[in-house]
Structure 1
Amino acid sequence: MNFPNWLELGFRIAGQELFDARFVKLLSYRQELDLRRGMLLKSITFEDGQGRRSRLRERRLVSMDDMHLGALELSLIAENWSAAVTVRSAIDGRIVNTGAKLYRKFNNRHLEPLAGTVTDEDGVYLHVRTCQSHVHVAQVARTQAFLAGQLLDVRRRVIEEPGYIGQELDVDIKQGETLVLEKVASIYTSRDHAISECGLEANKAILRAGRFDALLAGHLLAWKHIWRRFDVHIQPADHEFKMNVLMLLRLNMFHLLQTVSPNSIGLDIGIPARGWSGEAYQGHVFWDELFIFPFFNFRMPEITRSLLMYRYRRLGEARAAAAAAGYKGAMFPWQSGSNGQEETQELNLNPRSQHWVPDNSYLQRHVGSAVAFNVWQYFQVTHDIEFLH
């Protein structure tokens, strides 16, 4: 399920349409995923229909130091023009799930908007609730504008629609100047630990959060500690070998560490089949941990232990499933969700024939064997007798 999108941060030059890379002349475009620092970087040089040439630099992160914070920095450099720039910053709770083609015909709206308002002068707040599980999600986003290093104090216009809350502000830029926009967002849910109410915590987190560079410093330090423990160093035996194996390994490690990290310890979560990168498996937990736990067992077994607790807490549901099928013991589901029951559909839509056919994948009853194997492998590495008990 997609949460509300706090990343919306756009601009228009001299009253034109909001910037869209598809409708300008691109002179250069570079996008980079910085694996070492856990950042998405973007650099664009473009020219609009009136011949105005601009450079755009973006830095984006989700904090590894504080899992409730994300930050975005956008720098706009006016190369050959002077004009008024209108900035729009918002949180969009109208987001839908359309990433999986197979499910696009079904209900893809899973969020119910509850509240949206302005906080202080530079922030917006959106509160939604998931339709089925009634989990509350609160987000607060603070947007600040800087010119020549100085924070701008400008009047803002509120843009409010059901499930959407934003602000617009106008800034005059002269040729050669750089407008820097910093957006910091906090995200809390009603399932977070040690909170009173998720909206209150999200607002409090923004009040305490520093500027982009301050958040970046803590984020970089957290990633430095992680890579010190998880990084690998290999060299191909054949020096003629051209493939960058080390980069490919680190890319996959980064993808995994974004899904499961030290921040996951103590949370009641499993590992979705595609991590957080797609909707095709609807966030369900299969048996992929079989391939993932060895990576953590020898580097940070505390993560493995915490994730194994996801299965342990759902042991009662697994025992009930086994009894219903006429077996003793426990039978973990092929697709597991929030409470551990079998989430596999009885029927599935064949995308080619458009016919509904039985979905018998729930008969893949080897997940229990994988769970037992994972527990034993964890014990062999850690000798954690307490966990076995």
Structure 2
Amino acid sequence: MEDQAQYLRELLAKPDWTDDERRWLLHYLEHTPATALKSLLLEAFRERDIAVPDIALQERLLAGIHARMQPVQETIVTPMRRTNRWRVAAAVGGMAILLGGGALLLRQSKWQPETVAEVATASNIGPNGDIAPGGNKAQLVLHNGKTVVLDQTADGRIGEGNVEKKDAELLYDAEEGKSGSNILITPRGGQYRVRLADGTKVWLNAASRLEYPVAFNGNERMVSLTGEAYFEVASDVQRPFFVMVDGMKVQVLGTKFNVNAYPEEKLFTTALLEGAVRITGSGKQVTLKPGQESAFSPKSGSLKQYAGDMESAVAWKNGIITFKNDELSAVMRDLGRWYDVDVAYEPGLDSHIHVTGAMRKQEHLSQALKILELTAGVHFEVEGRTVKVSR
């Protein structure tokens, strides 16, 4: 609590806030009761020998904080600037952990691309043995079979195709008549963005694979996904957009949604932020409205829809790792994908311990594990690229 109060005082004393600071406040206000926030505000005034404001002024202060955060709510995809601050907001049980620091994604995968070479990336293990977070790393497989390691390629045109690399993003021109498909692959510890030829924007999470045509020439637009991606589909009522996943199909016209379909997970989930999507799997079908999610089991074929948590569903894209009553094993798969590590459990250890919290993604692995130790009541030991979990 003292760390929170101090950080809040620092922010209140500043004339303006960075994107990171706005995001911290946004997350804090959404997960902290108003009375608790007011208590921190009052404490900040008292400790600085400032007269305690009346109720009306308190409400205006709170309204002012919300108003200054509004640009972040309107532009949730803005890349976060890296900072060195971090704060723990709460500890165990149903209370959230908030880590203010850097930005980016998580989730672990055993999947490795079988049809293309693995991305060659430099080791992220520092001289002290600590492991750095992931970053913008990927490889692009062109329709002629040539592989381009994007994090080792300068900005500019790639080959003779209609694609340009710019600021860790691929940009395709809308050239009719082009044929063939490209494949974008992120390794564990990698992520990347692509704007397809129709204007659709895709954020690809770690250990994922997206196959798509270099141009959409027919009466439908179709891509294939393994892993996780967030889509902002360009509207085109004449040409529906399809995302094909193993055993599942997502059909849209123009919308914003997230698909999590890692092969090692029990369920493939789709979260809808805007528009409408139709999910089909094993002969079943559901249509989602904004704020809803679906869960498809590739093993049993079951398909369900329910009220979802949009903030958690797209947190990875916005630079935050969230886990709300999730099993420790699921959280560790997330960490494994982002930090490119394997996880080993002590024999007999219950990996189904449930954990709740949130943290920024630019922290080194050691810091992330310290936070989890507080919540899960377990101990972590890192040996090379293996995280050992014990009591």
Q: TM-score scaled to structure 1, two decimals?
A: 0.26
Q: TM-score scaled to structure 2, two decimals?
A: 0.26
Between Structure 1 and Structure 2, whose CA radius of gyration is higher? 1
